[in-house]
Protein backbone atom coordinates (compact mmCIF):
# COMPACT_ATOMS: atom_id res chain seq x y z
CA UNK A 1 0.00 0.00 0.00
CA UNK A 2 1.36 3.39 -0.95
CA UNK A 3 1.06 5.96 1.85
CA UNK A 4 1.72 9.61 1.10
CA UNK A 5 3.30 11.79 3.83
CA UNK A 6 3.59 8.89 6.26
CA UNK A 7 5.12 10.95 9.09
CA UNK A 8 2.18 13.34 8.96
CA UNK A 9 -0.49 10.67 8.45
CA UNK A 10 0.42 8.41 11.40
CA UNK A 11 0.01 11.01 14.20
CA UNK A 12 -3.19 12.23 12.52
CA UNK A 13 -4.59 8.70 12.57
CA UNK A 14 -3.45 7.75 16.08
CA UNK A 15 -4.09 10.93 18.02
CA UNK A 16 -6.96 12.85 16.38
CA UNK A 17 -10.51 12.16 15.15
CA UNK A 18 -9.45 12.77 11.55
CA UNK A 19 -10.99 10.38 9.00
CA UNK A 20 -8.77 7.46 8.04
CA UNK A 21 -10.80 6.90 4.88
CA UNK A 22 -13.27 9.24 3.19
CA UNK A 23 -15.25 7.51 0.46
CA UNK A 24 -16.54 9.89 -2.19
CA UNK A 25 -19.19 8.90 -4.72
CA UNK A 26 -18.28 10.38 -8.11
CA UNK A 27 -21.07 8.68 -10.08
CA UNK A 28 -23.87 6.22 -9.33
CA UNK A 29 -23.77 4.89 -12.87
CA UNK A 30 -22.24 1.46 -13.44
CA UNK A 31 -21.54 -0.65 -16.49
CA UNK A 32 -22.52 -3.81 -14.55
CA UNK A 33 -25.56 -4.89 -12.53
CA UNK A 34 -24.35 -7.44 -9.96
CA UNK A 35 -27.21 -9.00 -8.02
CA UNK A 36 -25.70 -8.46 -4.57
CA UNK A 37 -24.95 -4.74 -5.11
CA UNK A 38 -27.35 -1.92 -4.26
CA UNK A 39 -24.95 0.97 -4.87
CA UNK A 40 -25.44 1.69 -8.57
CA UNK A 41 -27.86 2.65 -11.33
CA UNK A 42 -27.69 2.78 -15.12
CA UNK A 43 -28.94 6.31 -15.76
CA UNK A 44 -27.27 8.85 -13.45
CA UNK A 45 -25.02 11.60 -14.78
CA UNK A 46 -21.54 11.94 -13.26
CA UNK A 47 -21.27 14.34 -10.33
CA UNK A 48 -20.05 17.67 -11.80
CA UNK A 49 -16.31 18.22 -11.40
CA UNK A 50 -16.69 21.58 -9.62
CA UNK A 51 -19.02 19.99 -7.04
CA UNK A 52 -16.51 17.22 -6.42
CA UNK A 53 -13.68 19.72 -5.98
CA UNK A 54 -15.64 21.57 -3.30
CA UNK A 55 -16.32 18.28 -1.51
CA UNK A 56 -12.65 17.33 -1.74
CA UNK A 57 -11.70 20.72 -0.30
CA UNK A 58 -13.97 19.93 2.66
CA UNK A 59 -12.37 16.51 3.14
CA UNK A 60 -8.92 18.11 3.06
CA UNK A 61 -10.06 20.61 5.68
CA UNK A 62 -11.24 17.71 7.88
CA UNK A 63 -7.80 16.09 7.57
CA UNK A 64 -8.83 12.92 5.72
CA UNK A 65 -5.78 10.68 5.35
CA UNK A 66 -7.18 8.83 2.32
CA UNK A 67 -9.88 9.73 -0.21
CA UNK A 68 -11.40 6.77 -2.05
CA UNK A 69 -13.34 7.39 -5.26
CA UNK A 70 -16.38 5.13 -5.53
CA UNK A 71 -19.38 4.51 -7.77
CA UNK A 72 -21.23 2.91 -9.36
CA UNK A 73 -18.13 2.61 -11.48
CA UNK A 74 -15.81 5.60 -10.84
CA UNK A 75 -13.86 5.10 -14.08
CA UNK A 76 -17.04 6.12 -15.94
CA UNK A 77 -16.47 9.68 -14.73
CA UNK A 78 -14.97 11.61 -17.69
CA UNK A 79 -12.68 13.61 -15.37
CA UNK A 80 -11.52 10.80 -13.07
CA UNK A 81 -7.80 11.56 -13.56
CA UNK A 82 -8.33 15.23 -12.71
CA UNK A 83 -10.30 14.23 -9.60
CA UNK A 84 -7.40 12.00 -8.51
CA UNK A 85 -4.92 14.81 -9.11
CA UNK A 86 -7.00 17.32 -7.16
CA UNK A 87 -7.64 14.99 -4.21
CA UNK A 88 -3.98 13.95 -4.13
CA UNK A 89 -2.74 17.43 -3.27
CA UNK A 90 -3.35 16.80 0.45
CA UNK A 91 -4.34 13.14 0.83
CA UNK A 92 -3.73 9.62 -0.36
CA UNK A 93 -5.97 8.79 -3.31
CA UNK A 94 -7.59 5.44 -4.04
CA UNK A 95 -10.13 4.02 -6.49
CA UNK A 96 -12.36 0.95 -6.24
CA UNK A 97 -13.29 -0.39 -9.68
CA UNK A 98 -14.79 -3.41 -11.37
CA UNK A 99 -11.82 -3.26 -13.74
CA UNK A 100 -13.57 -3.53 -17.10
CA UNK A 101 -12.55 -0.01 -18.19
CA UNK A 102 -8.84 -0.41 -17.40
CA UNK A 103 -7.41 0.30 -20.83
CA UNK A 104 -3.77 1.26 -21.40
CA UNK A 105 -4.60 4.95 -21.72
CA UNK A 106 -6.68 4.94 -18.53
CA UNK A 107 -3.88 3.32 -16.53
CA UNK A 108 -1.33 5.82 -17.83
CA UNK A 109 -3.65 8.74 -17.04
CA UNK A 110 -3.97 7.47 -13.46
CA UNK A 111 -0.18 7.08 -13.29
CA UNK A 112 0.28 10.69 -14.36
CA UNK A 113 -2.41 11.90 -11.95
CA UNK A 114 -0.54 10.34 -9.01
CA UNK A 115 -3.04 7.69 -7.93
CA UNK A 116 -1.75 5.81 -4.89
CA UNK A 117 -3.93 2.71 -4.66
CA UNK A 118 -6.36 0.83 -6.91
CA UNK A 119 -8.70 -1.93 -5.76
CA UNK A 120 -10.14 -4.26 -8.41
CA UNK A 121 -13.24 -6.20 -7.40
CA UNK A 122 -13.17 -9.79 -8.69
CA UNK A 123 -15.57 -12.22 -7.10
CA UNK A 124 -15.46 -15.53 -8.98
CA UNK A 125 -13.08 -17.61 -11.04
CA UNK A 126 -15.55 -18.27 -13.85
CA UNK A 127 -18.51 -16.35 -15.19
CA UNK A 128 -21.72 -16.82 -13.20
CA UNK A 129 -24.45 -17.96 -15.62
CA UNK A 130 -27.13 -16.39 -13.39
CA UNK A 131 -25.41 -12.98 -13.69
CA UNK A 132 -25.75 -12.54 -9.91
CA UNK A 133 -21.99 -11.95 -9.95
CA UNK A 134 -20.47 -10.45 -13.11
CA UNK A 135 -16.85 -9.86 -12.13
CA UNK A 136 -14.94 -13.04 -12.91
CA UNK A 137 -11.21 -13.54 -13.19
CA UNK A 138 -11.70 -15.03 -16.64
CA UNK A 139 -13.24 -11.79 -17.91
CA UNK A 140 -10.68 -9.56 -16.17
CA UNK A 141 -7.43 -11.46 -16.72
CA UNK A 142 -6.20 -9.17 -19.50
CA UNK A 143 -6.85 -6.11 -17.30
CA UNK A 144 -4.76 -7.59 -14.49
CA UNK A 145 -1.98 -8.28 -16.98
CA UNK A 146 -2.08 -4.61 -18.01
CA UNK A 147 -1.93 -3.46 -14.42
CA UNK A 148 0.96 -5.80 -13.74
CA UNK A 149 2.83 -4.33 -16.69
CA UNK A 150 1.90 -0.64 -16.58
CA UNK A 151 0.61 0.53 -13.19
CA UNK A 152 2.88 2.64 -11.00
CA UNK A 153 0.27 2.72 -8.23
CA UNK A 154 -0.34 -0.10 -5.77
CA UNK A 155 -2.95 -2.67 -6.82
CA UNK A 156 -4.92 -5.17 -4.79
CA UNK A 157 -7.89 -7.39 -5.56
CA UNK A 158 -10.96 -7.73 -3.37
CA UNK A 159 -13.40 -10.64 -3.48
CA UNK A 160 -16.80 -11.23 -1.92
CA UNK A 161 -17.14 -14.56 -0.11
CA UNK A 162 -20.66 -15.84 -0.73
CA UNK A 163 -22.61 -18.88 -1.94
CA UNK A 164 -21.81 -18.10 -5.59
CA UNK A 165 -18.07 -17.76 -5.03
CA UNK A 166 -17.21 -20.40 -2.41
CA UNK A 167 -16.70 -23.44 -4.68
CA UNK A 168 -13.86 -21.87 -6.67
CA UNK A 169 -12.60 -19.52 -3.97
CA UNK A 170 -9.29 -21.26 -3.27
CA UNK A 171 -8.40 -21.38 -6.95
CA UNK A 172 -9.36 -17.73 -7.36
CA UNK A 173 -6.98 -16.79 -4.55
CA UNK A 174 -4.14 -18.80 -6.09
CA UNK A 175 -4.65 -17.34 -9.56
CA UNK A 176 -4.83 -13.74 -8.33
CA UNK A 177 -1.74 -14.14 -6.19
CA UNK A 178 0.13 -15.57 -9.19
CA UNK A 179 -0.04 -12.04 -10.59
CA UNK A 180 1.74 -10.80 -7.46
CA UNK A 181 -1.32 -8.90 -6.21
CA UNK A 182 -2.52 -8.99 -2.63
CA UNK A 183 -6.16 -9.62 -1.78
CA UNK A 184 -8.86 -8.69 0.68
CA UNK A 185 -12.00 -10.69 1.40
CA UNK A 186 -15.40 -9.19 2.13
CA UNK A 187 -18.14 -11.27 3.76
CA UNK A 188 -21.34 -10.72 1.82
CA UNK A 189 -23.94 -8.69 3.66
CA UNK A 190 -27.55 -7.78 3.07
CA UNK A 191 -28.81 -4.34 2.06
CA UNK A 192 -28.62 -3.14 5.69
CA UNK A 193 -25.00 -4.24 6.13
CA UNK A 194 -25.55 -7.39 8.20
CA UNK A 195 -23.49 -10.51 7.46
CA UNK A 196 -25.38 -13.01 5.30
CA UNK A 197 -23.16 -16.12 5.60
CA UNK A 198 -21.75 -18.26 8.39
CA UNK A 199 -20.61 -21.82 9.07
CA UNK A 200 -17.66 -24.14 8.58
CA UNK A 201 -17.42 -24.12 4.76
CA UNK A 202 -16.95 -20.36 4.74
CA UNK A 203 -14.81 -20.34 7.88
CA UNK A 204 -12.42 -22.91 6.37
CA UNK A 205 -11.96 -20.80 3.23
CA UNK A 206 -11.50 -17.64 5.28
CA UNK A 207 -8.90 -19.21 7.59
CA UNK A 208 -7.00 -20.77 4.69
CA UNK A 209 -6.81 -17.41 2.95
CA UNK A 210 -5.42 -15.63 6.01
CA UNK A 211 -2.98 -18.39 6.93
CA UNK A 212 -1.48 -19.10 3.51
CA UNK A 213 -2.40 -16.15 1.31
CA UNK A 214 -1.32 -12.54 0.90
CA UNK A 215 -3.98 -10.56 2.78
CA UNK A 216 -4.14 -6.85 2.11
CA UNK A 217 -4.89 -6.23 5.78
CA UNK A 218 -5.32 -8.11 9.07
CA UNK A 219 -7.39 -5.37 10.71
CA UNK A 220 -10.69 -7.24 10.49
CA UNK A 221 -9.41 -10.83 10.52
CA UNK A 222 -10.51 -11.71 14.06
CA UNK A 223 -13.82 -9.93 13.67
CA UNK A 224 -14.68 -11.67 10.38
CA UNK A 225 -13.76 -15.02 11.90
CA UNK A 226 -16.18 -14.38 14.76
CA UNK A 227 -19.01 -13.49 12.38
CA UNK A 228 -18.54 -16.72 10.45
CA UNK A 229 -18.69 -18.62 13.77
CA UNK A 230 -22.13 -17.05 14.38
CA UNK A 231 -20.72 -14.80 17.09
CA UNK A 232 -21.63 -11.12 17.29
CA UNK A 233 -18.78 -9.25 19.00
CA UNK A 234 -19.57 -5.87 20.49
CA UNK A 235 -17.84 -2.88 18.90
CA UNK A 236 -18.46 0.81 18.40
CA UNK A 237 -18.81 2.12 14.86
CA UNK A 238 -16.95 5.40 14.27
CA UNK A 239 -18.65 6.11 10.94
CA UNK A 240 -19.12 9.82 10.48
CA UNK A 241 -15.69 10.32 12.05
CA UNK A 242 -12.90 7.84 11.30
CA UNK A 243 -14.86 6.64 8.26
CA UNK A 244 -16.75 9.08 6.05
CA UNK A 245 -19.12 8.16 3.25
CA UNK A 246 -20.08 11.10 1.02
CA UNK A 247 -22.96 10.31 -1.32
CA UNK A 248 -23.59 11.68 -4.82
CA UNK A 249 -25.47 14.64 -3.31
CA UNK A 250 -22.48 15.64 -1.20
CA UNK A 251 -24.04 14.50 2.08
CA UNK A 252 -22.21 12.54 4.77
CA UNK A 253 -23.88 9.19 5.47
CA UNK A 254 -22.93 6.49 7.96
CA UNK A 255 -22.28 4.05 5.10
CA UNK A 256 -23.91 2.77 1.92
CA UNK A 257 -26.05 0.37 3.97
CA UNK A 258 -27.28 2.95 6.51
CA UNK A 259 -28.40 5.88 4.40
CA UNK A 260 -30.47 8.86 5.56
CA UNK A 261 -29.25 8.73 9.16
CA UNK A 262 -26.87 11.69 8.94
CA UNK A 263 -27.33 13.56 5.69
CA UNK A 264 -25.27 16.64 6.55
CA UNK A 265 -23.49 18.30 3.59
CA UNK A 266 -19.77 17.56 3.78
CA UNK A 267 -19.02 21.22 3.06
CA UNK A 268 -20.72 22.09 6.37
CA UNK A 269 -19.11 19.24 8.28
CA UNK A 270 -16.75 20.28 11.08
CA UNK A 271 -14.31 18.96 13.66
CA UNK A 272 -17.19 19.12 16.14
CA UNK A 273 -19.18 16.71 13.93
CA UNK A 274 -16.22 14.32 13.83
CA UNK A 275 -15.99 14.42 17.61
CA UNK A 276 -19.72 13.88 18.07
CA UNK A 277 -19.90 10.92 15.68
CA UNK A 278 -16.80 9.36 17.22
CA UNK A 279 -18.60 9.31 20.59
CA UNK A 280 -22.02 8.23 19.30
CA UNK A 281 -22.99 4.57 19.17
CA UNK A 282 -24.80 3.86 15.91
CA UNK A 283 -26.95 0.96 17.11
CA UNK A 284 -26.39 -1.12 13.97
CA UNK A 285 -23.02 -2.64 14.88
CA UNK A 286 -24.19 -6.13 15.88
CA UNK A 287 -23.54 -8.47 12.94
CA UNK A 288 -22.36 -5.69 10.64
CA UNK A 289 -19.90 -6.83 7.98
CA UNK A 290 -19.16 -3.44 6.38
CA UNK A 291 -15.43 -4.03 6.63
CA UNK A 292 -14.27 -0.51 5.82
CA UNK A 293 -16.25 0.91 8.75
CA UNK A 294 -14.94 -1.74 11.15
CA UNK A 295 -11.31 -1.33 10.08
CA UNK A 296 -11.38 2.44 10.48
CA UNK A 297 -13.08 2.14 13.88
CA UNK A 298 -10.51 -0.27 15.29
CA UNK A 299 -7.93 2.46 15.81
CA UNK A 300 -10.15 4.01 18.52
CA UNK A 301 -11.84 0.86 19.78
CA UNK A 302 -8.64 -1.09 20.40
CA UNK A 303 -5.47 0.80 19.54
CA UNK A 304 -3.13 -2.07 20.59
CA UNK A 305 -5.06 -4.47 18.32
CA UNK A 306 -4.82 -1.93 15.50
CA UNK A 307 -1.05 -1.66 15.90
CA UNK A 308 -0.65 -5.46 16.15
CA UNK A 309 -2.61 -5.98 12.95
CA UNK A 310 -0.53 -3.40 11.09
CA UNK A 311 2.71 -4.97 12.34
CA UNK A 312 1.50 -8.43 11.39
CA UNK A 313 0.91 -7.27 7.83
CA UNK A 314 4.32 -5.65 7.78
CA UNK A 315 6.19 -8.72 8.99
CA UNK A 316 4.18 -11.07 6.78
CA UNK A 317 5.23 -8.91 3.84
CA UNK A 318 1.65 -8.31 2.69
CA UNK A 319 1.36 -4.63 3.57
CA UNK A 320 3.32 -3.24 0.63
CA UNK A 321 3.90 -4.27 -2.96
CA UNK A 322 7.69 -4.39 -2.41
CA UNK A 323 8.28 -1.70 -5.01
CA UNK A 324 7.28 -3.86 -7.95
CA UNK A 325 5.22 -1.09 -9.53
CA UNK A 326 7.13 1.88 -8.17
CA UNK A 327 9.61 1.71 -11.00
CA UNK A 328 9.12 4.46 -13.53
CA UNK A 329 7.13 3.03 -16.41
CA UNK A 330 7.30 4.40 -19.96
CA UNK A 331 4.38 6.56 -21.02
CA UNK A 332 1.81 4.89 -23.25
CA UNK A 333 2.48 5.54 -26.90
CA UNK A 334 -0.31 6.62 -29.27
CA UNK A 335 -0.11 3.17 -30.89
CA UNK A 336 -0.49 1.39 -27.55
CA UNK A 337 -3.40 3.60 -26.54
CA UNK A 338 -5.12 2.97 -29.86
CA UNK A 339 -4.73 -0.75 -29.28
CA UNK A 340 -6.82 -0.70 -26.09
CA UNK A 341 -9.82 -3.01 -26.22
Query: Which residues lie below 8 Å from residue 267, measured CB to CB, with a gap of 6+?
Result: 54, 55, 57, 58, 250
pLDDT of residue 149: 94
pLDDT tier for residue 48 given thresholds of 50, 70 and 90: very high
State mean pLDDT over 38-64. 90
Q: Which fold has domain 6-338?
A: TIM Barrel (3.20.20)
Pairing mode, strands 264-265 and 243-246: unpaired
**Span 71-86, average pLDDT:** 95
Euclidean distance between CA atoms 140 and 207, whole angstroms: 26
pLDDT of residue 172: 92
Q: Looking at residue 166, what DSSP letter applies?
A: G
Peptide bond into 72 cis (omega under 30): yes
Helix residue spans in 39-168 (DSSP H): 49-61, 80-87, 104-113, 137-150
Which of 194, 307, 292 has the alpha carbon at shortest distance from 243? 292
Highest mean pLDDT among 121-130, 192-201, 310-319: 192-201
What value does the mean pLDDT take over residues 222-245?
Answer: 97
Q: What pLDDT, on a 0 to 100 scale, did the predictor assign at position 337?
A: 34
Evaluate whether 88 touches 56 at the Cβ level (below 8 Å): no
Highest mean pLDDT among 37-51, 126-140, 232-246: 232-246
pLDDT at residue 131, rounded to an integer: 61
Could you tell me the residue ranges of all domains in the chain?
A: 6-338
The span from the CA of 28 to the CA of 47, in Å, is 9
Report the relative pairing of strands 251-253 and 243-246 from DSSP bridges. antiparallel
CA-CA distance, 245 to 265, in Å (whole number)? 11
**pTM for this predicted structure:** 0.89
pLDDT band at 133 (very low <50, low <70, confident <90, very high): low
Q: What is the pLDDT of residue 1?
A: 57
Checking if the pLDDT of 3 tops 70, the result is no
Q: How confident is the model at residue 328 (pLDDT cuts 50, 70, 90)?
A: very low
Q: What is the mean pLDDT of the chain?
A: 87
Amino acid sequence: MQVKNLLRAVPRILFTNAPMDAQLIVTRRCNLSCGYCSEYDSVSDPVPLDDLKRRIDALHRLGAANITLLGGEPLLHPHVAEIVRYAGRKANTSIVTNGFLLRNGVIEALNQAGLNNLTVSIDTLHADPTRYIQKSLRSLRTRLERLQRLARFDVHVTAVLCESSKDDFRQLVQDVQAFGFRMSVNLIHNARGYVAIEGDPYLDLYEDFYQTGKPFTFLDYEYGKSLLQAERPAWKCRAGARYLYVDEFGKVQLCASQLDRLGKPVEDYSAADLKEQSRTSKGCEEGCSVGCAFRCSLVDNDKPAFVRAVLKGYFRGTMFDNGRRRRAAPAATPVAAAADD
